[in-house]
Amino acid sequence: MNAITLETKIEEVPKIGVAYAKRLKKFGIKTVQDLLFYFPARYDDFSEITTIDQARNKLGEVACVQGEIIEIETSKSIYGRMAVTKAVVQDRTAQISIIWFNQPYLEKSLKENDFICVAGKVSLGKEGLFFNSPAFERINEIGENEELTHTGRIVPVYSETRGVTSRWLRYVIKPLLYRFCEQIQESLPKEIIKKYKFLPIQEAVWQLHFPESFEHADAAKSRFLFEELFLIQLNVLKEKIKLMQKRAHACPMDAELMKNFTDSLPFQLTDSQKKCAFAILKDLEKTVPMSRLLEGDVGSGKTVVAAMAVLNVVKSGHQVAFMAPTEILAKQHFKSVSEMLKKFDVKVGMLTGKDARIFKPASPSQGGDGETFEVSKKSFNGDLENGQLDIAIGTHSLIQKGVEFKDLALVILDEQHRFGVEQRDHLIKNKKLVPHLLSMTATPIPRTLALTAYGDLDLSLIDEMPKNRKKVKTIIVEPQQRKEAYEFIRKEVADGKGVFVIYPKIDSAASKLKESIEKNGQITGSATESFVPQNYGPMSLASLTINEVKALKEEYERLSKEVFPDLRITMLHGKMKSPEKERIMLDFKKGEIDILLSTSVVEVGVDVPRATIMMIEGAERFGLSQLHQFRGRVGRSDMQSYCFLFTTDPSMLNRKRLKALVESNNGFELAEKDLEIRGPGSLYGTQQSGIPDIAMQGLSNVFLVEKTRAAAKEILEKDPELKDYPELKERLKQFQSRIHFE
């Protein structure tokens, strides 16, 4: 180990090698330091060592004992597929049995007369009390004061993957801590450590992995909670400072033009829309590039506000790029923006992976609304580069090679704000002036997340809905009420209304599980890897309850043949080609389809005012914010709309979430509630938000978030380049390489 350092690649570390390194990289662990910073997810409290006699009074509870093995043997289970290792351990007070499943190697590593420390739940079987697959480790002597790793202490439990257990991680991490912990450089500024009385980094790393007490673990966790959030704040605030040093086109607000635009609309803007539009238009007047996030519930009218910004920029003599995540949404924006701007002589183009279209407004002498026609991508790109197109709406096709703008001044991103910096860089192609950036989201963002992941963006909030909208009535439908709900749906359809039905995404692992049980009567093969804890062997249908996931195609057959044979029902799913999806959505909008079935992965964002029912199967499988998004697909007219939540899960957690949805139609209130109920890790997930696991746990604490933001601001005001904080600068650099905001 002499040549090994904190920067050594993980595959070069003895006891790890290439195979384990490949598994560890799933957790982002590439170096020795990465491994030392891979912190436990929780702890098992095995710190109280009792006698075996005392442990026998703890039926159903966790106990930790030390004793001598007096018997040990391995045999096959009655099915012949599983090794069962049985041992008897005794101390001066009593004996107790131990059973391990599927660990035949234990008979070789543990012998009679060996002393071991055992920790686990005390169970009751036919032959009396026993430990079922407990944690264990060999010791020198009963009662000796020796340092333990897997038992007899507060034991770290890590997030695992196949082939990487918490036991193995403890086995590998502990000697590395002894070797390298003192070499870890302090990264927090001294004044912050002193001000908040944080543990030094070396002690905090030790105490997180192998804490002396839960108080020590909490102190270490507090330090790293602060540090991770602090690094996020430094990252976003540095981006903001960097942006403030760049220059953008100044687009003066044309108040008369804006009035003419709002007068041309068939509805009145809400006060909230007016405030947001004004803030955006004032930002566009500056030579400092705007970076603004426009938040608003589904149907609150964000696109109209964006259209005002588009019109003002175009009439200032510049171009706009408007990027959407899917073709369906890009086409929706193309249609709605063309419609809103048709009287203002704005040439609108649309570019997706499949096709290119251009809308040219009619001249005053011609009359009419103008026309849309398809063009070649080469022709489209030529018009864009020559300035013949004022606005280009599209998917990621807009940042592909060969797409050049003549004079881009504004980039609008729909539901992809975290890619804003990267996409803006793609679009400007190293030009001197950078475009303004407006991101839009219908996903309500809790305040804590807004201050962290989106801290470099100014926020505008549309917090009211158009005046003619009625509150969507949300109802939890019990299994016995399903027939009644179907009858209500039938009446709505008879009145010419449309129905959305959403199903949870089909989990491929769940399908394997179901298939294995139906075929073999038990879980086998790759399904075992996904669902069966190691050491438990085959599981039969009788011993396992599957959470039934309704398959979209099966449900289509059932609804169209058994429930609504007289209604027009159609499926929409991700494997369909874009033209087919577009045709189906158009038919649904026109009233040629009564009920549209879709999985959650399919974008159903096209505005369908005639749709008044959103029916969600397996509602307990979705988060509150996602359910609210689905609900927002109805209630987009002055007709009363309904959201039916079909569930078979009686758990209190899900009931609490679904009840919150019934009681509130406010997306921002629900986002905070979701954060409170599920926790930020479940709500956003590390991969989705880019926020490290430990920082995730701090997101529900707005005081901590604000404290880290203030600390980051204070440091950057004194030293924007972090020249006086080289260790912090290096830590931030490492942090930036592993974080990925989306």
Assign residue 265 the CATH number of its domain: 3.40.50.300
For residue 732, being part of any structural domain is answered with: no
Asked whether the beta carbons of 386 and 369 are under 8 A apart, the reply is no
Q: What is the pLDDT of residues 629-676, one digit of tens each?
A: 888 888 888 889 999 999 877 676 677 788 888 988 777 777 777 766
pLDDT digits (tens, 9 = 90+) for 533-559: 322 233 333 333 333 334 678 888 889
Asked if pLDDT for residue 532 goes beyond 50, the answer is: no
Q: Is residue 487 domain-shared with residue 634, that is, in the same domain?
A: yes
Q: Report yes or no on 250 lying in a domain.
A: no
Q: How many domains does the chain have?
A: 3
Got the DSSP string for 282-329? HHHTSSSPPEEEEEE-TTS-HHHHHHHHHHHHHHTT-EEEEE-SSHHH
Both 411 and 266 in one domain: the answer is: yes
| Pair 572, 652 in one domain | yes
The CA distances from residue 583 to 116, 217, 577, 587, in Å, are: 69, 58, 10, 6
Residue 609 lies in domain: 473-506+549-664
Pick from 6-15, 74-83, 418-427: least confident: 418-427
Q: Are 495 and 407 members of one domain? A: no
SS3 track for 234-271: HHHHHHHHHHHCCECCCCCCCHHHHHHHHHHCCCCCCH
Provide mean pLDDT across the span 367-396. Answer: 89
Cα separation of 642 and 632, whole Å?
A: 10
Whole-number CA gyration radius for the chain? 31
Rounded Cα–Cα distance for residues 134 and 119 (Å): 5
Same domain for 384 and 491, yes or no, is no
With respect to residue 723, please indicate whether it lies within any of the assigned structural domains.
no
Q: Do 372 and 321 reside in the same domain of the chain? A: yes
Polymer length in residues for the chain:
742
- Check whether residue 607 and residue 483 sit in a common domain: yes
**Do 270 and 143 share a structural domain?**
no
CA distances from 81 to 133, 198, 520, 525 (A): 17, 52, 14, 13
Is 461 domain-assigned? no
Cβ neighbours of residue 669 under 8 Å, at least 6 residues apart? none
How far is the C-alpha of 594 from the C-alpha of 279, rounded, in Å?
A: 41
What ranges make up the beta strands (E) of 78-188? 83-90, 95-101, 115-125, 128-132, 135-139, 154-157
Are residues 603 and 482 part of one domain?
A: yes
- 473-501 mean pLDDT: 93
Q: Is 313 inside a domain boundary?
A: yes
Coil, helix or strand at residue 198: coil
Q: Indicate if the pLDDT at residue 383 is higher than 90.
A: yes
Provide the whole-model pTM.
0.69
Secondary structure of residue 420 in the 3-state scheme: helix
Last residue of a domain, one of 98, 131, 152: 152
Give kind and range of the element (H or E) at residue 507.
Answer: none
Stretch (H or E) spanning 700 = none
State percent of the chain over pLDDT 70: 83
DSSP conformational letter for 9: B
Question: 479 and 604 share a domain?
Answer: yes
**Worst-scoring range by mean pLDDT, 426-430, 526-530, 627-631, 653-657?**
526-530
Query: Which of residues 129, 152, 175 is at a domain's end?
Result: 152
Q: Are residues 362 and 413 in the same domain?
A: yes
- Same domain? For 406 and 489 the reply is no
Tell whether 532 is covered by a domain.
no
* End residue of a domain, out of 96, 129, 152: 152
